[in-house]
Amino acid sequence: MGSFVLARGESPPDGLRRTAVAEVRAALTSIKTLPSMEAIHEFRRATKRIRALLRIGEYLHDQESESLDHFFRHLALKASAIRDLTVRIRLLEKQKRKLSSPWEVLQCERMEEQWQTQLEVFNFEALKADLIKGLRTALRLLSLWPGIAPTRKDLKAALKKARTKAKKAREKALKDPIPDNLHSWRKRTKTECNLRHFLNKSVKHSSKNRLNRLKHLSDLLGKDHDLVLLEESLAKDLVPRKAELGTLIAQERSRLQKHISCAA
C-alpha cells in the first residue's frame, strides 16, 4: 500500500489517476505471477482501494467516477464466488473440530467434500484471463479519469462525507446488528480507512493508531460476515439436524460482536 498516498505537491487529479493506475498494474502483476487464490486475494484488495478513490468522485457528483465504480464492482463480483467458497471450506473445517456429534461431523465432511470438489473443478485460468482483460480495459478507462478537477478542499470534504457515512452505518449496526447492517458498516469503514490512508500526507493527517483501529474494526466485521456466509450456505445445503453446529457459529458471532462493540 506504499504508493497508495497522495504526495505533497501532487495535484489531486494527477494523484488520483496515478494511484488508481498503480493499483490496477499491481493487480495485473499479481494475477500473472502469484498462485491462484493469493492472486485473487490481491486483486480484491486492489479493487477495494480503487473503489475507495472512486468514492471521492462520486461524492463530488462526477459521472465518470460513478461509471467506473460500476465497472470495478462488476469485475470484483467475478472473483467473489470462488473466494466465498474457499472461506466456507476453511470455516467449516475449523468448526467441525469442535463438534461432539458424530452425525454432524459426518454431515460437515460431506459438505466439505462437495465444496472441495467445486473448488477443484473451478477453471481458475479462465477467471484469471477474464480479470486480466477487465483490468486492461480499466487502464484505458482510467486515462480519462477523473472527469472533474477536485481541489484539496474537495478531498477534505469527501473524507468528511466518508466519515459521516461510516458513523451512520455504525449507529445503525449497533442498534440493529443484522448481517446487512454489519456488512454495510464494514464497507463504509473500509472506505474511510482507505481514504484516510490516501490523504494522510497532504490533506488530512490521521494517526497510525486511528488507521490501525479502523483496519482492526473492518477485519472483525469481515470475520463476522464470513460466518454469515457459512450460516447461509449451511441453511441451503445441510439437512436441518445441525443444532450443535448452528450453536457454535452463533457463539462465535456473539464473541466477535462483543469485540466489534469494543473496537467501535
- Euclidean distance between CA atoms 39 and 28, whole angstroms: 9
pLDDT for res 24 = 97
- Euclidean distance between CA atoms 2 and 22, whole angstroms: 11
CA–chain centroid gap for 205, Å, is: 24
The per-residue pLDDT for range 78-95, each reduced to its tens digit, is 999 899 999 999 999 999
- For residue 2, pLDDT over 70 is answered with no
Average pLDDT over residues 3-27: 94
Grid cell listed for 103:
452425525
Q: Hey, how many other C-beta atoms are within 10 angstroms of the C-beta on 138?
A: 23
The per-residue pLDDT for range 64-75, each reduced to its tens digit, is 999 999 999 999
* Whole-model pTM over 0.75: yes
Q: How big is the chain by its Cα radius of gyration, in Å?
A: 20
Q: How confident is the model at residue 56 (pLDDT cuts 50, 70, 90)?
A: very high
Q: How confident is the model at residue 236 (pLDDT cuts 50, 70, 90)?
A: confident
**DSSP class of 7:** P
Longest dimension (CA), the chain: 64
Helix, strand, coil percentages for the chain (3-state, nearest 5)? 80, 0, 20
Smallest Cα–Cα separation from 126: which of 83, 78, 73? Answer: 78
Q: What is the DSSP string of 50-92?
A: HHHHHHHHHHTT-HHHHHHHHHHHHHHHHHHHHHHHHHHHHHH
Which domains are present in the chain?
12-263 (1.40.20.10)
Q: How confident is the model at residue 192 (pLDDT cuts 50, 70, 90)?
A: very high
CB neighbour class for 61 (10 Å; exposed up to 12, middle 13-18, buried from 19): exposed
Grid cell listed for 143:
486515462
pLDDT for res 124 = 94
Mean pLDDT of the chain: 93
CA–chain centroid gap for 25, Å, is: 19
- For residue 23, pLDDT over 90 is answered with yes
**Percent share of the chain, pLDDT over 90:** 84
**DSSP class of 101:** -
**Which phi-psi region, left, alpha or beta, contains residue 9 (left: φ > 0; alpha: ψ -120 to 50)?**
left
pLDDT for res 79 = 93
Grid cell listed for 203:
490533506
The per-residue pLDDT for range 95-120, each reduced to its tens digit, is 999 999 898 899 889 989 999 999 99
pLDDT for res 107 = 86
Prior bond of 146 cis (ω within 30°) = yes
Q: How confident is the model at residue 1 (pLDDT cuts 50, 70, 90)?
A: low
- Euclidean distance between CA atoms 166 and 143, whole angstroms: 30
- 171, 185, 207, 253 from 264: Cα distances, Å: 10, 10, 16, 16
Q: Is there a contact between 214 and 52 (Cβ–Cβ < 8 Å)?
A: no
pLDDT for res 22 = 96
